Structure 1
Amino acid sequence: MLTSLLTFAGAACLIAMVPGPSTAVILRRSVLHGRTSGMVTVLGNEAGVLLWGLAAAFGLSAVLVASEIAYNVMRIAGAAFLIWMGAQALWRARRGNAADEEADGGRVSHWRAFRLGLLTNAANPKAGVFAVSLLPQFVPSGAPVLPMLLLFSAMWALIDLVWYFGLVWLAGRVRATFQRPAVRRRMERVSGTVLVALGVRLAAQP
């Protein structure tokens, strides 16, 4: 049991550290809107991780593996979502308004940040494939499958949370540099380009 838990924790750490759409979105939110917004985005992302883990535990995400149509629909929808976010960032940079048009009375919407993190993770079918194909491999022989998968899902979300909170803290350290309008516009161009590229790559991958 202990060996399975430690092995899974190592695998989850490696998965968390691989840059992807969630990393790009979380860093962008942290740099442009501050640590609080970045942390709320992380919480939304981890809610998505838990949903994928629960789906794997109850066999729902197996549909993505078994059905090529379901996988492709989610893949294209996720790619479109990333490209749309990237295009918005590029448009704001072009207009010279690098801040998100989401403020209410000068405060950034935490609900939007949470929703953005959740949708970014939920729209990534590879997270579902990871959950359904990798999590069951760590269940020890003879152990109850459902409780173990639920435990692994919680561990996956917790490890992700620690990793991304660390990134948010580091982004907050350099945020002051990005408050100048010219620098913010460059940040929007870079983040927008990255998001569009990630979306195109997701759409092109089988």
Structure 2
Amino acid sequence: MCIRILLVDDHSIIRQGLRVLLEKKPKFEVVGEAENGRVALSMARKLEPDVIVMDINMPDLNGVDAARQILAERPESRIIALSMYSDRSYVKGMLKAGVAGYLLKNCAFDELTKAILAVAGNQTYLSPKVSDIVRKEFVKLMDAGELGVAEALTDKEREVLQMIAEGKKTKDIAERLHISVKTVEARRGKIMEKLRINSVAGLTKFAIREGLTSVEI
């Protein structure tokens, strides 16, 4: 039986390169490609992949929130974070979201193959460069139920926060999420209240610091 794989990355050249390499493996079948987290969520529902190889920093809906939402709907899917970042905030965010693997983009293709086979077999695979001590710390925090400020936001609020940080206007956010302008404004107010931040610039800085977006300011 083939392992059905969904590739998620906002760079088409990376997705195409991975597809070419993965499809050379007899046990692998690439069933789709997505350019951001929101498209990945839709494709995961439709294609029901076994393994999702996902970047973290993507526009519209980042990998952390996409992983959380996908696993809430399809807990049987196994997600591997494939990122250029090994920072604590990125690793912490993806592990808390429930991913089964975390690899750095400079890894060898053989390591990605090994990771896919491992997570498909219900195992966890972390890049050797991702410290085991850090992993244990994150697991301990999860077991203790400790939540950071960002986790106090709902999924819908996090979506709005990311779009605000990416410079999208209230009307555009409303159209993208199929909600009213008043609803967007209400969620923005709730976000500011929870985070105790009173400006868009402050929200943007917070979103970048927490790894919700890669927008530079």
- Larger strand fraction of residues: 2
- Larger helix fraction of residues: 1
Normalised to the residue count of structure 2, the TM-score between the two structures is 0.23
Normalised to the residue count of structure 1, the TM-score between the two structures is 0.24
